[in-house]
Chain A
């Protein structure tokens, strides 16, 4: 039934506009620009992470996408509609998990979902089946008939995701889905979200201030600071853009226990082209770090390390490129934007970043 609708929408989406797109979106509260000239594009079938500190304007952006708050200026299109003009059409197709989601405590999880289903025009057997499916997807089936008041924070969050899924959305918008949840719960939820995107082909926008947590699930991220998008792209792209012009390669050897061997190995590694610095491990078990400049040479350096190891009979046990953590990228991006904020930032900056991400 709904499968037909989705196929059609999927084929439609390829040809036409992205599910979420904003142009110069601005929201002012008095003198404060909560969201300032936001150009954002989320493509069909991807998980997009909207990252930023508390108060960066993430929730305000989300509310404008849903038509729950009025924008001051700019344009928004969500699933082909303007949320300010056609809020109902948008809300029919977009599942939303609010920040700190709540449920009616004296109703069971299932009853809560049933209410949402009714509000979406789903009734009877169709609704019950849908509810069963989404409860199963968030693994709450066994607690579905307990009162929502007895649920843990993590369960409420999962019920919230189920609630957003009941309407069979094309787009899922999750506001801080991992906040106030224990680390194991976070991993569970993120895996679940990955699975949902894979199985249902939904487009997902999630916001978070816990950067490293969501780094693993997002296809692309947008870094948000003071209402502005200061960087957009995949995590490696952003690492390149906001890195210090170098890349790191970690290598580990077996049997480098005495200083003489260590010096010999360091000599080999330092001789590789584009290796700017060799940082030896402080303990035996830790890997060494090669600082590569320019960062594009990282792949070639890895090959060279393999070649050198084979030639010189070194016992290489591991080698990998290290991507800078999102926390570092975030700090740098915000700092970079902060420095540029006094002068006018070139408007070509953001589309360029978006363009790179296509590759």
Chain B
């Protein structure tokens, strides 16, 4: 027994392999995921959804922008107006029909659609044990799937934005300045992070929920809850818990509004929308929140409209971007930990 438990590792007993360990298994997996996504029905849906999200507002706003452009020839930031100006009097569910808001509405759906069956799909196909027995780390699987899906969505997103920019230049005759291009680029990056948040949520669902159909439904449910009705639900709850007397002072009402702002800002949707508006609109000098005191409100009334420089805009939304990244990281980490601890067998 003692002889048996003695260490027996001898280098000679290790079969020599003539190939190295693949250094980055997640790259191989990511590549396969991209290939899968591009040839899947999902990709067609992605193209249609993003195409419509950009096309409808652009179509509705084109006339208005054309008028605007001739009026304010030489004015700054007309190019970016394509993203934030919608048709007059067109709003659905308090949502302005603009490219920015439509993309913000569609991005979460796309994120969930590309990740909801990432792990449980492998499981139900019976490919997970096979995949996991290859010489890769277990996190390579989850990393590769995240990277692959994000790459595909980003690619389409960037393409659509370039198409819009091209449309603006050719059909509307608006030539962007360098600053506008940078702002647009930053907005696309923020949008990708926002998609990443929802991808991470989809991934978490795909790890935690065994059936793909259930996880898709749960993903859809969270989208509806957080994106479509998020603000509405928050306001309803706050109104329920905090009663402002009908004859309350302005200060009291302001406080409730501030609380509403704070809670709403915990939603990724709000963070994204506010960041987008500031990035795409140099005129925006605040993130759309309620001001702290009446004095500040008074001040804001007297403010001379001016354009914010890029670094000032960025400074304004930096917390938003950090918060989005943090939410994404937390969701991804949850999916990751859950997956690492999960048994391979069903």
Contacts and interface: CB of A to CB of B under 8 A. Distances in A.
A164 B204 CA distance: 30
Interface stretch (B133-141, B220-228, B268-276): B133-141
Contacts of A121: 19-22, 135
B304 interface: no
B246 interface: no
Q: Is the interface of B mostly helix, strand, loop or mixed?
A: loop
Interface stretch (A4-12, A208-216, A239-247): A4-12
Given A119-B28, A170-B15, A63 B345 contact: yes
A8 to B, nearest CB: 5
A116 B10 CA distance: 29
Interface residues of B, number: 36
A12 B18 contact: no
A203 to B, nearest CB: 11
B177 interface: no
A105 B125 CA distance: 8
A213 B19 CA distance: 37
A23 interface: yes
Contact of A119 (B12, B134, B344): B134
B129 to A, nearest CB: 4
Contact of B135 (A8, A91, A106, A163): A91
By CB atoms of chain A within 10 A, which of B8, B131, B134 has the most?
A: B134
Interface string A54-96: 0000010001001011000001010111000000110111101
Interface in B319-346: 343-345
A17 interface: yes
A13 B126 contact: no
A33 interface: no
A281 interface: no
Given A17-B8, A23-B4, A119-B134, A93 B15 contact: yes
A104 B13 contact: no
B130 A98 contact: yes
Interface string A112-134: 00011011111000000000000
Contacts of A1: 18
A166 to B, nearest CB: 10
A17 B129 contact: no
A255 interface: no
Contacts of B135: 88-89, 91-92, 119-121, 167
B19 A122 contact: yes
Nearest to A122: B19
Contacts of B129: 68, 96, 98-99, 101
Given A77-B9, A105-B125, A119-B28, A12 B130 contact: no
Given A5-B15, A91-B135, A101 B126 contact: yes
A88 B13 contact: no
B16 interface: yes
Given A12-B13, A102-B130, A88 B137 contact: yes
Given A4-B18, A92-B21, A121-B21, A116 B13 contact: no
Contacts of A102: 125-127, 130
A220 B302 CA distance: 91
B3 to A, nearest CB: 11
Given A16-B10, A118-B28, A79 B132 contact: no
Contact of B12 (A16, A21, A115): A16
Given A102-B130, A119-B135, A5 B5 contact: no
Contacts of B36: 104, 106
B130 A8 contact: no
Interface in A255-310: none
A5 B18 contact: yes
Interface in B85-112: none
A167 B18 CA distance: 11
Interface string B29-55: 100100010000000000000000000
A15 interface: yes
B25 interface: yes
Contacts of A154: none
A120 B134 contact: yes
A95 B126 CA distance: 16
Contacts of B20: 121
A99 B9 CA distance: 30
Contacts of A59: 345
Contacts of B132: 68
A100 B4 CA distance: 35
Given A80-B9, A98-B130, A6 B344 contact: no
B2 to A, nearest CB: 12
A160 B10 contact: no
A281 B37 CA distance: 68
A2 interface: yes
Contact of A12 (B15, B17, B131): B15
A194 to B, nearest CB: 22
B166 to A, nearest CB: 34
Interface of A: 1-2, 4-6, 8-9, 11-13, 15-17, 21, 23, 59, 63, 66, 68-69, 75, 77, 79-81, 88-89, 91-94, 96, 98-106, 115-116, 118-122, 160, 163, 167, 170
10 contacts: A8-B15, A13-B13, A17-B13, A23-B4, A69-B343, A81-B14, A103-B126, A115-B32, A119-B136, A121-B20
Given A91-B135, A119-B136, A121-B19, 19 more contacts: A2-B18, A4-B18, A8-B16, A9-B16, A12-B15, A13-B13, A17-B8, A17-B9, A17-B13, A68-B129, A68-B344, A77-B8, A81-B14, A92-B135, A99-B129, A105-B125, A119-B22, A119-B28, A163-B130
